[in-house]
Amino acid sequence: MTLLRFLHMLGICLWLGGVLATITITLLVPEEKPVARASGLRMVGRLHSWIIAPGILLALVTGFVLVGRLGTTQLPPSVSAMAGVGVVAGLLALFAQYPTAIKLAAISPAAEQNPVPPALHRVERRLTIVSTIATVLVLTAMYFGAVV
């Protein structure tokens, strides 16, 4: 159980750490030169593939195994709330946030154009909205996890 809990926390750290790095890059990227703007957006895609998505999968898989070990009959309400909110956050991040970040990385060369095409701004805005919702849900799940 201790190793499982450690892996559960590790997954959440990777997930939130990657999201914080993404937020930092997307806030700072507009101040950079066009070539650096484009590579910053590619980094956002790589962060999602190498750090955030593996973190989400680790957090969800270990979460389900932990539930299995606890036994469904004795789940405290806060654990059920964490699991419910965590699953919604994970699905949103995997099926909406992740593909948007990959799309942003794919169209990142457009960031070198002047003016930057509106399509790029639209994808950036979608990523900001979806990641904000998913991150608020993760923090909510963390709150329920903290009061277990």
CA distance 87 to 127: 19
14 binds ligand HEM (CB under 6 A): no
For tokens 């939130």, name the residue. Answer: 16
Mask for 111-140, x = binds ligand HEM (CB under 6 A): ---------------------------x--
10 binds ligand HEM (CB under 6 A): no
CA distance 125 to 102: 14
CA distance 93 to 97: 5
55 binds ligand HEM (CB under 6 A): no
Residue 127 — left, alpha, or beta (φ > 0 → left; ψ -120 to 50 → alpha)?
alpha
Least gap, CB of 104 to ligand HEM (angstroms): 23
64 binds ligand HEM (CB under 6 A): yes
Collapsed DSSP state (helix, strand, coil) of residue 33: coil
Q: Which of 14, 19, 38, 82 binds ligand HEM (CB under 6 A)?
A: 82
45 binds ligand HEM (CB under 6 A): no
Beta carbon nearer to ligand HEM, 43 or 67: 67
Please state the length of the chain: 148
Contact 27, 53 (CB under 8 A): no
67 binds ligand HEM (CB under 6 A): yes
Other Cβ atoms less than 10 A from the Cβ of 92: the count is: 19
Q: Which of 60, 81, 104, 110 binds ligand HEM (CB under 6 A)?
A: 60
Q: Both tokens of residue 81?
A: 């709330």
Tell me the window of 4-12, 19-27, 98-106, 116-124 that interacts with ligand HEM (CB under 6 A).
4-12
